[in-house]
Amino acid sequence: MLKGKTAVITGASTGIGKEIALQMAQNGANVAIIYIGDQNLAKDVKKQAESHGVRAEIYECDVSNFELSKTICETIVSDFGSVDVLVNNAGIVRDNLMLRMSESDFDAVISVNLKGVFNMTKHLARSIMRSGRGRIINISSVSGIMGNPGQANYSAAKAGVIGLTKTTAKEFAGKNVTCNAIAPGFVATDMTANLPQAVKEYADTTIPLKRMGTPEEIANVAVFLASDMSSYITGEVIKVDGGMCI
């Protein structure tokens, strides 16, 4: 579905980002794997992606840093020649009730989860536009749609991603670039593994499908949105949440 395309995925060394990178590689896309932290994890994703016969490269980048993001994006375009798909997946959590939340925890989540989307989109926009078939996919969350106690920073950032998605879709449509958001619910990743057991049990009992989602189920939607099959879909927010936010 993605043969001949080049995809950039942020936060791609673990969890949802890793699975998106691997499924895009499996579908024929060359992948630029952006990570921060453990280089060995990124190298493992690169190796798995290359097993599908595509090119894969890794780049360490704090996407919240405007100038560093610019440098990395310029390097990726130089290395691959062009970029067709951008998946803004990088994200962090610093959960706490609002009255207990520190300014630094609020700012950190906004910087990575929202400003990082702006940084990467801005710096890769021209290359994506030149491709003539560009796709931008932003990973939001149902928390950005319905709010979530203890996640004032995360919910605000993810709601901002939705607004940014719709604006990007309108601004870039003239260049045949689509921009859509995916809003996962509870997904079984390292991030959700640290949730209190009571929260996990609440999720299992309140989600209509009675389970958490998997990274693969999020990646399936990302591959569809990156493909030519989604060519007339833009500005949408697709919930992948097992019916949690109906």
Q: Would you name the residues annotated as active-site residues?
A: 154
The secondary structure of the chain as a DSSP string is --TT-EEEESS-SSHHHHHHHHHHHHTT-EEEEEE-S-HHHHHHHHHHHHTTTS-EEEEE--TT-HHHHHHHHHHHHHHHS---EEEE-------B-GGG--HHHHHHHHIIIIIHHHHHHHHHHHHHHHHSS-EEEEE--THHHH--TTBHHHHHHHHHHHHHHHHHHHHHGGGT-EEEEEEE-SB-SHHHHTS-HHHHHHHHHHSTTSS-B-HHHHHHHHHHHHSGGGTT--S-EEEESTTTT-
In this structure, what is the dihedral angle of CA atoms 156, 176, 76, 118, given to the nearest 10 degrees? -20
Q: Tokens representing 198?
A: 């009571």
